Amino acid sequence: MTASLIIFNQFYENSRKLTICSVYFSEEAQFSIKRIQKMIYKEIIGTLQEFIKIIDELKAQFSHSKMGMDFSYRGLCDSTYKLIPNIYRKTTNEFTNTTNRIFLTSENEILSHFIKEASCYISRIDKDNYLSWLEYAQHFGAPTRLLDFTSNPLVALYFCCKENQETDGVIWVLNEKNYQQFLNHKSEYLKAKKHYNKKQILEDIIQNLKTYDPCIEYPCSYIPYYIDQRMIAQGSRFLIWGSNSKPLESIVQPCNYMEINKNGMRIECSPDVRFLFKITILGNCKREIIKQLDTCGINEKNLFPGIDGVGRYITAYYKMSYDDIVDAFFYK
């Protein structure tokens, strides 16, 4: 039978918990009821150590390298946010109930405008090097087709928890190796090429951006050249979108999600196209996790090297939350 299972969020007596959600079984696999029960992964996680354990289990069952470096992570402070670049995000008009792109101007026009304005500050990049300019534009907040990921799960956890601390957040885990197998299996562009590399794909995507040729449909992941200490500190990685402007989770199928085997057994697939995993973090546990991350050196001053990062860190360090004030008043 076809098996598809979603593990829903659960609230426990201790509200400061994490819960795994959106875990799917392969549509193509056949499971008995007993085997399905073994594959269900439903853990209540309340500490940083338990979060790391989940990441370790994902690596043990899905990594293709000894160091487990073939994973990327993205943390979002609101669980309703999608895996989609800024340039393609949409807003809904409450009065007309219509949805429109936030940026209606063409992507080419936005990037050209950025290049003109930023050229006096960044003189070492050729004006025709669109990929480098795209990375700079993304780095400094202009809307692009790039989406930030990190090689460090704790960095993703920090960005998930640092804002909207009453709202559930989410961390997306991307298996780079399996995602490449998915692309090899699904992309007509890659099927037509006997030999290719990431540099060639990136160049073709940029060329398509200039000519509006939609031959590359799916996003491509890559590690950029680091242009400053901030990218190094955050372990920056990018997904660059092709012609399909939908969120990544809308492009893939349930069989493309990784599922954790409770018995620790590694289940091999060929090709293995399970590459996405979603962890929902309850808003009322974020503040405690931020404190734990600070103990590990994952904080504003280290992720944003420089005096600005130090200033923001000092402000956050001495800013008491409502819960802190109540605790100090009643339990001192």
pLDDT on residue 149:
98
Structure confidence by residue, pLDDT tens digits, 109-150: 899 999 999 999 988 888 888 899 999 999 999 999 999 999
pLDDT on residue 126:
86
Structure confidence by residue, pLDDT tens digits, 251-269: 888 889 888 877 767 777 7
Largest distance between two CA atoms of the chain: 69
| String of DSSP letters for 44-106 | EE-SHHHHHHHHHHHHHHH-SSTT--SEEEEEESSTT--S--GGG-EEEETTTTEEEES--S-
pLDDT on residue 321:
64
In angstroms, the CA 60 to CA 89 distance is 34
pLDDT on residue 208:
74
H helix intervals, the chain: 33-39, 48-62, 107-118, 130-139, 153-161, 176-186, 188-191, 198-211, 229-234, 248-251, 286-295, 300-303, 307-318, 322-331
> Which residue in this structure is represented by tokens 């923001």?
312
* The token pair that represents 168 in the structure block: 């559930």
pLDDT on residue 234:
96
Instruction: Flag residues of the chain having pLDDT under 70.
Output: 1-46, 92-101, 104, 194-195, 210-213, 264, 320-332
Under 8 Å between Cβ of 283 and 164: yes
C-alpha torsion 134→242→89→25, nearest 10: -130
* The token pair that represents 174 in the structure block: 């991307």
